[in-house]
Structure 1
Amino acid sequence: MLKIDEKGAVAPQIFTALRQAIITMALKPGQPLSEKEIAASFGTSRQPAREAVIKLVEAGLVRVLPQRGTYVVKVSPRQVADARFVREAVEVAVARHCCLSASQSALEALDHLIAGQEEAAAANDHAGFLALDEKFHKGLAEAIGCSEAWRVIETGKAQMDRVRYLSLPEASPMSLLIDQHREILAAIRAGDADAAAAAVRVHLREILLALPRLAKAFPELFEDEELPGHAADLQPVLRMEA
């Protein structure tokens, strides 16, 4: 039985645990989800299990098929690209504002997170590395007093997270991502908004390089679909930069 904090709301805890299991591929595409089994696993009634499943549907991670059941969906390259497009627009704006208003203490906190990522990379701790990656990007938004920017990003990035988790051992070395974080932070420290924006774009477009490689390596995990125009248009540029 999975542990639930009885002092907190139950449904969000179940959602978070299932979301993490789907992102890390502990729950694989095509795997069925039963409200009854979820409730039994967490030692709860079926109501919070049902609420958690509804949130997973809203996050685009599971699909309810009438008369057939509820299943984990495959990774959608189109949804990944769409989420990345929105995220780039938001984070470029955040990075530019960081150059104007981020405090020294906020920058030091970001530097500390990068140091933590280096330790996680040395230990080959993928989960720890990605947790610190989340904190770094969230920290950029918090550095300008706009936590809502991160909320917008977090709401739509579930499919991105699945690719990011797969990409660490397969397509995007942790050392490369650390270097990209350092470039973002260095540009912000220098107050160079254009350089900060460019560094964010390079960093967030890394996933477009990883995506086709991963889809080829793990065809059973991905929907067979083409990238939307806003992502496909970047492919020639990315190929030249790779």
Structure 2
Amino acid sequence: MKKIYPNAKTALDGLLSDDMLIAAGGFGLCGIPELLLEAIKDSGVKDLTFASNNAGVDDFGIGILLQTKQVRKMISSYVGENAEFMRQYLSGELELEFNPQGTLAERMRAAGHGIPGFYTKTGVGTVIAEGKDEKDFPTGPNGEMETYIMEEGIFADLSIVKAWKADETGNLVFRKTARNFNPPAAMCGKTCVVEVEEIVPTGSLDPDSIHLPGIYVHRIIQGEHEKRIEQRTIREA
């Protein structure tokens, strides 16, 4: 199967439609699929739902799709650093489903492993638990019953992720903290499109260094990335 495409627009050809659910990797501005997000914006699709830790900043990442009103709903754990996100949410223009970060990552990972739901203690007794199935398990220190809530796996129509390297079959290596949400996001989509900094020949990656096997990856592009720093903190000269 040929997985390498010349650019983001061609890699997304035939995959985009209104009202779809997209899982996007990244954390803040670290390891975000910026080229694919730009191509999604240019395509004009609308009423999108994004499962992503956050929505970038006002003029970068998913933030560019908020500016053009192409996002209907966010499934996220952090919504800071984005004034337009806040404005749309508070005005009722944007629907928001809050998720604890670990729960969001596990919802993606679970779906990627074919698990439709799981129980977790995180969120019990808070607004996160409202409307969700609860069940008690004997997991206390002395076998006491403890309450858990059920969370559903996120089965996305499309996954878009950013990796450091890929071989021609789609085996991926992520760079340090840019690994973040990218592997679970890649797993949970019906189709996974990846943008990378470098494509290397098949067989050149150390098998023990591969973070995500190519079985999850359907399309790959190579490109130049801006790599913004979200909060630059330096000491005085």
TM-score interval for Structure 1 and Structure 2 normalised by the shorter chain: under 0.3
Q: Which has the higher helix share?
A: 1
TM-score normalised over the length of structure 2: 0.26
